[in-house]
Amino acid sequence: MSRLEIDIEGMTCEGCARHVHDALEGVGAREVSVDWPAGRASVGAGTTDPDRLAEALADSRYRVSAVRDPRGGANGAAADDAYEYDLAIVGSGGGAFAAAIAARRRDLRVVMVEQGTVGGTCVNVGCIPSKALLAAAETRHRAGGRFPGITTEAGPVDMGALIAAKDGIVGDLRQDKYVDLAGEYGFEILEATARFVEGPALEVDDRRIEATHYLVATGADPLVPDIPGLADSGFLTSTSAMELDALPESMLVIGGGYVAMEQAQLFSHLGTKVTVLVRSQLARGEEPEVAEVIGDAFAAEGIAVHENTTPDEVRRDGDEVVVTAGGQRFRAQHLLVATGRRPRTQGLGLQDVGVELGRWGNVLVDADMSTSHPRVWAAGDVTGHPQFVYVAAKHGGLVVDNAFEGAGRRIDYRALPRITFTNPTIASAGLTEAGAEAQGIECTCRTLPLEHVPRAIVSRSTRGVVKVVAQRDSQRILGVHIVGDGAGDVILAGVLAIETAMTVEQLAATWNPYLTLGEGLYLAAQAFHRDPSKLSCCAA
């Protein structure tokens, strides 16, 4: 069923949403959905006269500012036999496969074009290989021991065997979760280069492919900064670093984001001497308390971090790479550049068919993932949106709903979780304190050191904090930020607290399983009204 979207002013809470919901149903609307933080509602098209929707709220504190049909003609077109395919996808990563599977479940005709390796970034050169290597490196690192009475020792690393094992996992998952799935769902994967041409259509080698809708899901490539001498230095990216067949004795890492931090600690835990050069600050996008913890952890492990350091020149000196920055010289056997990723749109011909690109070559999309061309959509890293595979997958399914059903679904990042797999792990969701203030939201925060969390105490792993950001007046939770062992497994509770508009009082009143890191989130909520140091470790 297609839907009508309604922009509504004046909603401030869940109670408002219920009033609006009941009022819309009162004038005959069905399939009513209300999103009060976004100031929107949607109803099933055809269930009531659109003019009556505005009248439903005429005598209330709320006002309808617009009623829209998101299908907008071509955007809501159903399967069209005039074309060879219903959906043609360029790319084969998480967003591409999510869209292909969603389309095949509707019995739509799908073709996918991939010029490289099937599976995209996550399974081939991103999440899967990096986490496989991080887990191995963590095992070696923990061999140092932190418990009295237990002594272990880490031996040398067989880098070739480690990389081969990683490659085995990647190959198995690529086959099981991508290549084989295409066969099960019944869509083609063409190993070729695609380019948009007038029509719009795709020129795939010598073949012209026409479809009702097109999806660009080509991902992103490592961003290489413009530093004199860098191109001739033989530098590594996160992709090539995970293919090394010998463990480096030393490594310089340029970057301070999640890829740089994970890779720096990965090689440090394997036994490489690592130095990190950061243009601004390590973990700059995180809460200051979180960044301080991870900085201390790096220092304790012997990882040298130089913040506010911008490389001026890179040169090769025999078997070493030398980086000059602010009058200082840093040298190491290898240089790893991890300064972000750039959307992969070069050579696609998008602008030739009227698709607008942003400053970094990203495909410009609205919140419904539509582009400036009504039949071309985009998903995942190529849009410049948060570069996580679960974001790409969400995009892909949403595109199919919007393109073929006119669902009018939109992306909402308010509670988006983001995890950096360092030790300790960084996990965040929602607004930071600075982010809330930038939006003009008066907030109040509590930060709980893990020394107050029994799970961390018994595990002898108290390096970390839990920080909760709440709206001052309503006490509604806006953000949750954790750094500590197991933080990635706890953050889902923070996501749900934000999505359900839970208050700190409600979170502090929920069940909390004792001797888990999750109790830290409960205690942080308690800290808004009580002193955690004065609580019993086994009682509320």
Q: Buried (b) or exposed (e) across 111-136, using 16+ Cβ within 10 A?
A: bbbbbeebbbbbbbbbbbbbebbbeb
| Continuous segment of H or E residues that includes residue 197 | strand 194-197
Task: Give the C-alpha separation, 21 to 42, whole Å.
Answer: 10
Q: Locate 128 and state its tokens.
A: 């899967």
Residue 32's domain is classified under what CATH number? 3.30.70.100
Q: Residue 501 domain-assigned?
A: yes
Q: Indicate if 182 and 113 belong to the same structural domain.
A: yes
Residue 148's domain is classified under what CATH number? 3.50.50.60
- Of 38, 69, 100, the one marking the end of a domain is 69
Task: Give the C-alpha separation, 246 to 271, whole Å.
Answer: 12
Q: Indicate if 354 and 210 belong to the same structural domain.
A: yes
- Of 19, 49, 69, the one marking the end of a domain is 69
Q: Indicate if 88 and 147 belong to the same structural domain.
A: yes
What integer pLDDT is reported at residue 69 of this predicted model? 60
Q: What are the average pLDDT values for consecutive 10-residue runs of the chain, which has 540 residues?
A: 75 86 89 82 78 82 75 43 92 98 96 96 96 96 85 90 97 96 95 97 96 98 96 96 97 98 98 97 97 98 97 96 96 98 97 97 97 97 97 98 93 96 98 97 97 94 97 98 97 97 96 92 94 77
Cα 356 from chain centroid (whole Å): 23
Q: How far apart are the first and last CA of the chain?
A: 48
Q: Residue 55 domain-assigned?
A: yes
What integer pLDDT is reported at residue 77 of this predicted model? 42
Q: Indicate if 269 and 283 belong to the same structural domain.
A: yes
Establish how many alpha carbons lie within 13 A of residue 328's alpha carbon, considering only the half-sphere containing its beta carbon: 12
Q: Indicate if 173 and 318 belong to the same structural domain.
A: no
Q: Indicate if 456 and 495 belong to the same structural domain.
A: yes
* Active-site amino acid positions: 11, 13, 16, 62, 122, 127, 537-538
3-state secondary structure 270-313: HCCEEEEECCCCCCCCCCHHHHHHHHHHHHHCCCEEECCCCCCE
426-437 pLDDT, tens digit per residue, is 999 999 999 999
Question: Among 217, 216, 218, which Cα is nearest to 200's?
Answer: 216
Task: Give the C-alpha separation, 239 to 244, whole Å.
Answer: 10
**Confidence (pTM):** 0.84
Q: Residue 209 domain-assigned?
A: yes
Give the CA dihedral 389, 391, 394, 395, nearest 10 degrees.
-100
Question: Among 251, 255, 256, 258, which Cα is nearest to 234's?
Answer: 251
Q: Residue 348 domain-assigned?
A: yes
277-331 pLDDT, tens digit per residue, is 999 999 999 999 999 999 999 999 999 999 999 999 999 999 999 999 989 999 9
Q: Indicate if 207 and 354 belong to the same structural domain.
A: yes
DSSP 364: P
Residue 460's domain is classified under what CATH number? 3.30.390.30
Q: Residue 539 domain-assigned?
A: no
Q: Indicate if 392 and 267 belong to the same structural domain.
A: no
Q: Indicate if 286 and 351 belong to the same structural domain.
A: no
Q: What domain range includes position 142? A: 76-222+343-405
Q: With beta carbons less than 8 A apart as the criterion, state whether 490 and 521 touch.
A: yes
DSSP 176: I
Q: Indicate if 184 and 241 belong to the same structural domain.
A: no
Q: Residue 51 domain-assigned?
A: yes
Task: Give the C-alpha separation, 143 to 154, whole Å.
Answer: 6
Task: Give the C-alpha separation, 311 to 314, whole Å.
Answer: 8
Q: Locate 71 and state its tokens.
A: 């299908």
Question: Among 211, 214, 195, which Cα is nearest to 203's?
Answer: 195
Task: Give the C-alpha separation, 465 to 452, whole Å.
Answer: 9
Q: Residue 7 domain-assigned?
A: yes
Q: Residue 540 domain-assigned?
A: no
Count of domains for the chain: 4
Task: Give the C-alpha separation, 379 to 369, whole Å.
Answer: 7
Question: Among 76, 79, 101, 68, which Cα is nearest to 403's?
Answer: 76
DSSP 179: I
Establish how many alpha carbons lie within 13 A of residue 416's alpha carbon, considering only the half-sphere containing its beta carbon: 15
| Continuous segment of H or E residues that includes residue 35 | strand 33-35
- Of 339, 363, 390, the one marking the end of a domain is 339
Residues pairing with 328 in the sheet:
325
Q: Indicate if 380 and 245 belong to the same structural domain.
A: no
Q: With beta carbons less than 8 A apart as the criterion, state whether 283 and 261 touch.
A: yes
Return the number of other C-beta atoms located less than 10 Å from residue 440's C-beta: 6
Q: Buried (b) or exposed (e) across 193-214, using 16+ Cβ within 10 A?
A: ebbbeeebbbbbeeeebebbbb
| Continuous segment of H or E residues that includes residue 169 | helix 159-174
Q: Indicate if 393 and 428 belong to the same structural domain.
A: no
Q: Where are the beta strands (DSSP E) in 198-293?
A: 201-204, 207-209, 211-216, 220-222, 250-254, 273-277
